[in-house]
């Protein structure tokens, strides 16, 4: 990943003139600045204590988190701020009404929206003949909803899953610990990993349309497949006392003919 290093000097400027040198400038370095092009992340305050929301250069306090106890923050950028020997990961937060924004230390925030959103349909318009693009669309919906509910995608689990997938292996053939050691995945405890994968999700028509079993609803934005899968996956996460996961979905078959097939890999930690 290309890292952009930007040196920021918090010198006060007024009318084009630099204030006297008696006010010493504070220098920060912004490193590893990333914009999430795949979609926004959602967070809310971890507690009700006073925590600063900083301006872009981390030189001035703009707001106090404690004044926004019920706010859901939208995060599309993250950066590492360096000052002397101190390094800290920050998120650039924007309120949903876009009236408040600034940098916040990541430890002051908690994953998920302040209030859980209750959806009745997933709003997806999948192709009648299901393809890998439809699987990606469904997976993106589920990942977004899980993050809104406070469950985070785990990149370390994703590295492990990629090894299994690319080598056509399963945990039964090669234990988690062996893969973690071979791939050199740091920070992943094999004893904390659970597997709730399904090779063939049963009663798919009823998941799409609980009343009539009409699979074509998933082509109209009125189906419930994504909503039902989020519910199933969250039940598995709760049962295994997990907060992070990796998910990979495969879709095939035809919705018009009523013959969809779904399987997914789900590792949790």
Q: In the chain, what are the domains?
A: 6-111 (2.30.30), 132-268 (no CATH)
**26 confidence band (pLDDT: 50, 70, 90):** low
pLDDT value for 82: 93
Checking if the pLDDT of 8 tops 80, the result is no
pLDDT value for 106: 95
**Listed range (22-36, 75-89, 173-187) with the worst mean pLDDT:** 22-36
pLDDT value for 37: 78
pLDDT value for 118: 86
**17 confidence band (pLDDT: 50, 70, 90):** very low
Checking if the pLDDT of 32 tops 90, the result is no
What 3-state class would DSSP assign to 106?
helix
Q: Which two tokens stand for residue 72?
A: 């859901």
Q: Which residues of 86-123 are buried (b: 16+ CB within 10 A; e: fewer)?
A: eeeebbbbbbeeeebbbbbbeebbebbbbeeeeeebbe
Checking if the pLDDT of 79 tops 60, the result is yes
- Other residues' Cβ atoms within 10 Å of the Cβ of residue 176: 21
pLDDT tens per residue across span 107-133: 999 999 998 888 999 999 999 999 999
pLDDT cut 70: percent of the chain above it: 90
What 3-state class would DSSP assign to 95?
strand
Mean pLDDT along residues 132-151: 96
The residues, ordered by sequence, that sit 6+ positions from 98 with a Cβ below 8 Å of its Cβ are none
pLDDT value for 36: 86
pLDDT value for 28: 79
pLDDT tens per residue across span 235-268: 999 999 999 999 999 999 999 999 999 999 999 9
Checking if the pLDDT of 44 tops 90, the result is yes
pLDDT tens per residue across span 154-202: 999 999 999 999 999 999 999 999 999 999 999 999 999 999 999 999 9
């Amino acid at each position: 990943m290309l890292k952009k290093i930007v040196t920021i000097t918090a010198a006060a400027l007024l009318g084009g003139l630099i204030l006297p040198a008696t006010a010493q400038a504070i220098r920060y370095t912004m490193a590893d600045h990333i914009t999430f092009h795949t979609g926004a992340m959602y967070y809310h305050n971890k507690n009700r204590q006073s925590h600063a929301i900083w301006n872009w250069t981390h030189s001035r306090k703009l707001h106090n988190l404690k004044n926004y106890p019920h706010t859901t923050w939208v995060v599309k950028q993250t950066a590492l701020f360096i000052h002397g020997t101190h390094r800290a990961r920050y998120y650039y937060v924007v309120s949903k009404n876009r009236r408040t924004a600034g940098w916040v230390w990541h430890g002051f925030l908690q994953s998920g929206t302040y209030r859980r959103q209750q959806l009745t349909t997933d709003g997806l318009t999948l192709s009648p003949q299901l393809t890998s693009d439809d699987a990606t669309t469904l997976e993106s919906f589920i990942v977004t909803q899980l993050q809104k509910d406070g469950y985070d995608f785990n990149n370390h689990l994703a590295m492990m899953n990629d090894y299994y997938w690319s080598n056509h292996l399963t945990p039964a053939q090669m234990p988690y610990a062996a893969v973690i050691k071979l791939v050199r995945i740091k920070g992943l405890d094999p004893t904390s990993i659970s597997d709730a994968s399904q090779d063939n999700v049963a009663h798919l028509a009823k998941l799409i349309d609980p009343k009539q079993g009409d699979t074509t609803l998933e082509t109209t934005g009125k189906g419930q497949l994504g909503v039902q899968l989020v519910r199933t996956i969250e039940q598995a996460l709760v049962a295994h006392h997990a907060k992070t996961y990796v998910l990979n979905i495969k879709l095939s078959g035809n919705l018009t003919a009523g013959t969809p097939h779904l399987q997914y890999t789900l590792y949790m930690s």
